[in-house]
Amino acid sequence: MTWTRSWIGTPASPGVLGVLVIATACGAPGVSVRHYADLNRAIEAGNHDAALARLHQSRELYGEKSSVLYLMDTAMIETLAGRPADANAHIQAAEDLIESLYTKSVTREAASFLTSDASLPYEGEDFEKVFLNVLAALNHARMGEPDEAAVEARKADVRLAETARTRGKDTAYGEDAFVRFLMGLMYEDAGEANDAWVSYARAIQAYQAQENRFGVPVPRALARRAAIVAASLGFHDEVASLREAFPGAVPDDPLEWAGMGRVVVVEFAGEVPVKVERRIEVTVGQGMVFLQTMDVTSREEQQVSSAISAAKAVAGTANVAIAYPVMVGRSPASLPVEVTVAGPEGGPGRTVVAEPVHNLAAIAPVCLEERMGRIWARTVARAVVKFLLATAAQKAGEAAGGKKYGWLTGLLAGATTSAALQASEHADTRSWGTLPAEVRTAVIEVPPGEHEVRVRGARASPGRVLVDEGRSAWWIVRTR
């Protein structure tokens, strides 16, 4: 915990805020940045059982109000451990709980007004809820269940439509190009070529519309698959347009590849940015300005910050705390993996470098930024109400103490009320900390049969995989 402090000897006139204290705190009450650092270290090392054991041992850190977050983290680790059925069971439990929480949201928000946003049950950010369906779809695909995978992809589409409806048509995350791309691959696996074409076409449009904001251009694999599916449907003009728009990505004869299977490697790279708490405290005291900054990275240090808020409320004549979340990025992701499918009889094969398809490092801050207006409105309103309650308690104490002791009972009543109210003020910095910063994919068309697949840059490779005609063999890797 790092402290810096300074005194500014400028007297505060009556009615003017005299002391400004700014504290920056990393981590939410309970689940902290340090917790995720340890958890991700085990995941990235491939120690998934150790990561799960650490997660279960830390269950009390999440608490009942972060049960959705606990289920999200469990599902991610189970997915990376190669246990897709277990992962999807936790995803379903998370979705059921989110649905239950949604129906009670108005009542909960009213009850939390005098504490903080962090006291509400966590429902997940919009992009986190969508990624639950993405993860479920990938797990079904790995289990060879294309119809179920397509259902999960459609559920992600429904979530996106709901986001656009509730956030407004101009929301940055009312569409997700990666989800469209994924839906196309799932539809191909399910033998639904027309639906696959529609998804690919919409994915291309979404990537083009969002490239400036999220930094992901149209993947070459997407243009290639779109052209192959278009050719199989007889959409010759569309194939020509794709060849012109994406030179080098479209094969000379797309129909030649139409009946083949696919090896699809999905890489989860890096760590998604995290929310941290920025705290502003204003204390009216002895006419001096006291400036303080503090970095908090654990639950224990969060408790220290609460104690300091309470102490300042007692020492000063008035104290107001405002806490709000900001997004902080983590270390950049490693270089993309290379996927090689060996040729027949050990001959030269085909190697493809995984390319970016989804940038959560850009999406997460944008989603928080769009909510900041509502967060600030609640935070400032809550601060004003808390200040007024403390003032009212002081007045009531003065009246109860009479002429002789009124000043003392009023001071104690106001300070005690202010201390309790300000110490409870924390930003909601919870987030799905096991998400990657970036998703990358490599798609390689192969003839039906058994193939040797190697992934360079990852801790594990699929080895020999069986690919059916027109279907995909899926593999998920996690890298730094």
Which residues 6+ apart lie within 8 Å of 329 measured at CB?
273, 361, 437
Tally of domains within the chain: 1
Q: Is 329 exposed, middle or buried (0-12, 13-18, 19+ CB in 10 A)?
A: middle
Domain that holds residue 316: 3-479
Farthest CA pair distance, the chain: 100
Q: Is 367 exposed, middle or buried (0-12, 13-18, 19+ CB in 10 A)?
A: buried
**pLDDT by position in tens, the chain (length 480):** 433 343 333 333 333 222 223 333 333 456 778 889 899 999 999 999 999 999 999 998 898 999 999 999 999 999 999 999 999 999 999 999 998 887 665 555 555 555 567 778 899 999 999 999 999 999 999 999 999 999 998 899 888 888 888 877 778 888 999 999 999 999 999 999 999 999 999 999 999 999 999 999 999 999 999 999 999 999 999 999 999 999 999 999 999 999 899 999 999 999 999 898 887 776 655 544 444 444 444 554 454 455 445 445 444 455 667 778 888 888 778 999 999 999 766 656 899 999 999 999 999 999 998 888 878 777 766 666 666 566 666 566 667 766 665 655 655 555 555 555 555 667 888 999 999 999 999 999 999 999 999 999 998 899 999 999 999 999 999 998
Task: Show the tokens assigned to 286.
Answer: 């002895």
CATH code at position 39: 1.25.40.10
Asked if residues 72 and 132 have their Cβ atoms less than 8 Å apart, the reply is yes
Q: Residue 218 phi/psi, 5° resolution?
A: -60, 120
Model's pTM, two decimal places? Answer: 0.82
Rounded Cα distance between 290 and 288, Å, is 6
